[in-house]
């Protein structure tokens, strides 16, 4: 039996076709936004209150029915065990064709502090644009569903943003102190890509594509309309815009 829909929050509509739990389709008319269920922030100092969450963590997924449940539960358990800030976890399903979306809805109905959003088209950039643009949190973040980055890096990632000492924070697999276990082919590709960025665009950040990033919400709302890519290069474009805008980018070496 489908659970009753909780209170809902509007997301600015776009032409990408975003749907809420009721299957409503978005259009490019801002007067007819799509919606998805809203929940109060959870954990930390604001547990159970209706205030804006300190951090909203977005988990983009596409056909991840195997990993989604264990990963969301593990992430939530980690946050409840000692994360000092209120949080919200938002699962954004990118046009999955397996059981990912029904599972995401079940998790949102069962677990306080978890939300689910569905997009009709694929693209990590689309997922982040949709969730971050509508976020009420002070800081917006995202991580890959496989939790490949050690969660102990989450607090060092968001703390400088919440304290006002940084505008953008990125996990880096290439910064001194990072510990990475991956195949040689992917290591070479990653290092070459980031080297090309430094040579051609003169960027100073070390790792554009690590799936572990955060920024202050007001910064995200300012930069997102300027980002054109909706898929793999979304992260790179966003970081280049941030750096060229003179924003403070904080890097966290991660175990990956």
Q: Map residue 178 onto helix, strand or coil.
A: coil
How would you list the strands of the sheet with 212-216, edge to edge? Answer: 18-19, 114-119, 87-94, 55-61, 139-143, 212-216, 168-172, 249-253
Helices and strands in the chain, H and E counts: 7, 10
DSSP states along 36-70:
EE----BSGGGTT-SSPPSEEEEEEESS-TTTHHH
Q: How crowded is residue 163: how many other Cβ atoms within 10 Å of its Cβ?
A: 8
The reply to whether 16 belongs to the active site is: no
Q: Map residue 250 onto helix, strand or coil.
A: strand
Q: Would you say 74 and 107 are in contact if contact means Cβ atoms under 8 Å apart?
A: no
**Helices assigned H by DSSP within the chain:** 68-82, 100-110, 124-134, 154-162, 184-201, 217-223, 234-244
**Which residue in 14, 16, 207, 235 is the catalytic one?**
235
Instruction: Please list the active-site residues.
Output: 235
């Amino acid at each position: 039996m489908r659970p009753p829909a909780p209170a809902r929050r509007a997301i600015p509509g776009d032409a990408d076709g975003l749907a809420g739990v009721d299957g409503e389709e978005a259009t490019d008319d801002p007067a007819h936004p799509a919606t998805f269920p809203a929940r109060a922030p959870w954990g930390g100092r604001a547990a159970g209150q209706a205030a804006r969450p300190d951090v909203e963590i977005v988990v983009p997924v596409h056909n991840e029915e195997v990993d989604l449940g264990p990963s969301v539960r593990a992430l939530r358990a980690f946050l409840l065990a000692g994360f000092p800030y209120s949080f919200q976890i938002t699962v954004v399903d990118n046009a999955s064709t397996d059981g990912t979306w029904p599972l995401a809805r079940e998790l949102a109905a069962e677990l306080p502090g978890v939300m689910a959003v569905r997009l009709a088209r694929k693209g990590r950039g689309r997922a982040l644009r949709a969730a971050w643009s509508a976020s009420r949190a002070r800081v917006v973040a995202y991580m890959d569903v496989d939790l490949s980055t050690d969660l102990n890096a989450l607090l060092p990632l968001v703390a400088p943003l919440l304290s006002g000492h940084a505008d953008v924070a990125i996990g880096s697999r290439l910064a001194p102190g990072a510990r990475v276990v991956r195949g040689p082919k992917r290591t070479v590709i990653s290092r070459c890509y980031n080297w090309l960025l430094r040579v051609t665009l003169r960027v100073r950040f070390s790792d554009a594509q690590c799936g572990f990033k955060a920024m202050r919400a007001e910064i995200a709302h300012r930069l997102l309309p300027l980002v054109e890519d909706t898929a793999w290069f979304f992260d790179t474009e966003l970081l280049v815009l941030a750096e060229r805008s003179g924003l403070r980018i904080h890097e966290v070496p991660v175990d990956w």
